[in-house]
Amino acid sequence: MAHRVASLVFFACGICSLSATHVCPPENFTTVQNFDLDTFISKMWFVQQQMPVTYLPKSQNRCVFAQYSKREKPGIWGYEVGVHNHAEDVAPPHKVHDSGSTLCAKVVDPSSGKLAVAPCFLPSFLAGPYWVIAYDEGQGFALISGGAPAKASPDGCRTGTGVNGSGLWIFTREQKRNEKLVNKVRGIAAAKGFDLSVLNDVDQTECSGSGSGSGSSSSAEASAADMLI
């Protein structure tokens, strides 16, 4: 009996030790500072690595890009930015998943790169966090997270995997993969406390132009809840 109790105590302590290893979100977790939204949205971003989430599974890790533009009017819900996301199935015939003009973003904190994204018809208080964690226009990279990584794992901190409060992305200006640059951004993410094991590569080769896929398009049928990066 004593042996059994000791084993249970040891097991419980092991769990406590594991959970205590990572405080999530990490203490003093910060996003980018002095963020320039106009420059950030001035050109297309290509996704080199991303975390699987409900609306963007690993099976769609092909030719993923994001485009942003200022809206002429913020509308009733105050969305200042239009969001256009694109992905394709990895498996042939590479079905296209394109958000078209259904997504919008509201600027929450302009200087620290905090926005919220949702289908344009939804009230902005239902939008999910889109945080720019790191960004360097000169080097052509950005690290994007669906809010603070609040979930602890053995390898660090993670966001969720649902719709809001989920996701981690490595963006580059160039579509062609630069392994050195990707590893640099991974290092930044690790230093911020993110669990890098959630990141998977995106295939940016043999993409038939920016915005048009090689397979049959599903943009017309895509639900507005899709593609929230």
Residue 12: phi and psi, rounded to 5, are: -65, -40
- In the chain, DSSP assigns E strands to 45-50, 62-70, 81-88, 96-98, 103-109, 114-119, 128-136, 141-145, 151-153, 156-158, 168-172, 200-201
pTM of the model: 0.85
The whole-number average pLDDT for the span 123-144 is 98
DSSP state at residue 67: E
> What pLDDT, on the 0 to 100 scale, is given for residue 228?
64
pLDDT digits (tens, 9 = 90+) for 20-71: 478 999 999 999 999 999 999 999 999 999 999 999 999 999 999 999 999 9
pLDDT digits (tens, 9 = 90+) for 178-219: 999 999 999 999 999 999 999 999 999 999 755 444 443 444
What tokens were used for 36? 């320039």
